[in-house]
Amino acid sequence: MGRELVKLELPLLGAGVGTLGLARYLSRYDVASGPVLCPLRRFTGVPCPFCGMTTSFAHLAGGRVWESFVASPAGPLIFVATVAGIIALIWALVRRKRISVELSPTTKKWAYRISGVILAILMLYQSFRIGPLHPLIA
């Protein structure tokens, strides 16, 4: 196993495991009523597209799927992607192989488009959360 493999994969693995561990720890508390961690929301009162992600992760780690989705619709998807990433990193370290993904230009173009749509959905969702539909969503 090359040094660069360990230099890259181990910190990513640590970050993923640490994130899920922290989410599990926070799942015992009411993180939604805790301090505001988002700088944009703290200074302007307007939530960013990723506001609610910590709460979403904590709810999902505690087994509260619906509450996780309500806190941030992308939270459960990113949580599952984090778990999949941890599994892939462990597999790569065990096999002593690098993780490499080659994307065609068409696939990259679609990945950017899908990312943009997801970001737009999150922005729209946050605008509804602070707007007139707030009682229906939160």
pLDDT in tens, 82-130: 899 889 888 888 887 777 667 788 988 998 898 888 888 888 877 777 6
> Using CA atoms, how far apart are residues 120 and 114, in angstroms rounded to an integer?
10
pTM score of the predicted model:
0.68
The sign of the dihedral angle between the CA atoms of 24, 30, 35, 40 is: positive
Q: Cα angle vertex 6, ends 5, 11, to 5°? A: 115
pLDDT for 103 equals 76
Alpha helices in 27-101 (DSSP H): 39-44, 53-61, 65-71, 75-95
CA 40 and chain centroid, separation = 18
Q: pLDDT (tens digit, 9 = 90+) per residue, 58-72?
A: 888 888 899 888 888
pLDDT for 17 equals 86
- High-pLDDT (> 90) share of the chain, %: 3
Q: Which two tokens stand for residue 19?
A: 């994130």
Domain ranges of the chain: 3-101
pLDDT for 132 equals 58
| Greater pLDDT, 4 or 64 | 64
> Using CA atoms, how far apart are residues 129 and 133, in angstroms rounded to an integer?
6
